[in-house]
Amino acid sequence: MTSKFGEISISTSKRRQIVDITGDVEGFVKGCGVADGICVVFSLHSTTAIVINEGEGGLKEDILRKIEADYPHGAGWHHDRIDDNADAHLAGTALGPSVALIVRKGDLVLGAWQRVLFIELDGPRSGRRVMLMAQG
């Protein structure tokens, strides 16, 4: 059994943006030497999230619209006195930075309509870091 570490670097161009990182995670899993096991995808940032869903363009807009409605910017949050991004932290807290995936026969296990999506909540930023650990 082996543990293999990887990392993805992401740059974003908007305040809120969805980046499909499925290909990067699949490529890492294929090359890491794990046949059957687990892969954890973990974003190093409090104002980003990792989710799993379909990558259809309209749906990605819907997800961002829903986040904006549920976590409005500048709604009198305490944290905005320190750093004007409490809404991004609140969405990041609820959506979460981490997802546990399954690896089987050397491939990432995903449904036909499932993609691994990185959500930027306080961009634009360069050098966003997503850590990967596969084990099996």
Whole-angstrom CA distances from 40 to 12, 29, 53 are 22, 11, 16
Nearer to its own copies, 23 or 129 (CB): 129
Residue 30 Cβ, how far from its own copies at the closest point, in Å?
Answer: 17
Binding mask of the shown chain, residues 71 to 110, with x at each position contacting its own copies by CB under 8 A = x-----xxx-xx---x--xx-xxxxxxxxxxxxx----xx
Whole-angstrom CA distances from 75 to 5, 84, 92, 95, 122 are 39, 10, 16, 19, 15
Nearer to its own copies, 30 or 79 (CB): 79
Rule CB under 8 A: choose which of 15, 45, 121, 123 binds its own copies.
45
15 binds its own copies (CB under 8 A): no
